Amino acid sequence: MQELDDYDKKLLMLMQQNNKTTAEELGSIVNLSTSAVQRRLKRLREDKMIEADVSIISPLAFGIGITCIVDVILEVGNSKAIDNFKALMQTCTEVMQCYYVTGTYDFVLIVNTIDMRHYEDFSKKYLMDIPNVKHFYTHVVMDKVKVGYGVNF
């Protein structure tokens, strides 16, 4: 993996603001040729500095009305139990993000559901009925004050 120079950093900042910006437009902004920008972007993708090119869809487009932040404490915290919970969360479409964390909780989940009934069904299936889940605490999001997907450097 190559170290990032100032051109790479500028390109990454611009790409995370709008990944549909053309190589020609990027080149004109950062003062590189179109082909140099294309080579750099190709390398940044191959090196996984650019992990994905995605569109961020509003949850409302799919009828998602509730976002919850869920703190989870497991009964047993050995490596097999942790790996099993990670694998379960990977299968769960409601879980947008799952973090294995230090401190009081073992996991923090970001969960999207259509409504509270849907969240109740989710919590029964993936939290209450899982023997190794000791406790979970749900925080219902009232307002998205700030959501960022970019990396600042």
Residue 145 lies in a domain: no
Residues 66 and 124 grouped into a single domain: yes
Residues 69 and 39 grouped into a single domain: no
CATH number for the domain including 75?
Answer: 3.30.70.920
Asked if 97 contacts 134 with a C-beta cutoff of 8 angstroms, the reply is: no
Average pLDDT, the chain: 95
Residue 153 lies in a domain: no
Pick from 101, 98, 78, 79: nearest CA to 88: 98
Asked if 88 contacts 50 with a C-beta cutoff of 8 angstroms, the reply is: no
Range of the domain at 23: 6-46
Instruction: Provide the pLDDT confidence category of residue 153 given band limits of 50, 70 and 90.
Output: confident
How many domains would you assign to the chain? 2
Higher-confidence position of 2 and 106: 106
List pLDDT tens digits, range 7-42: 999 999 999 999 999 999 999 999 999 999 999 999
- Say how far apart CA 141 and CA 144 lie, in whole Å: 7
Residue 147 lies in a domain: no
pTM of the model: 0.84
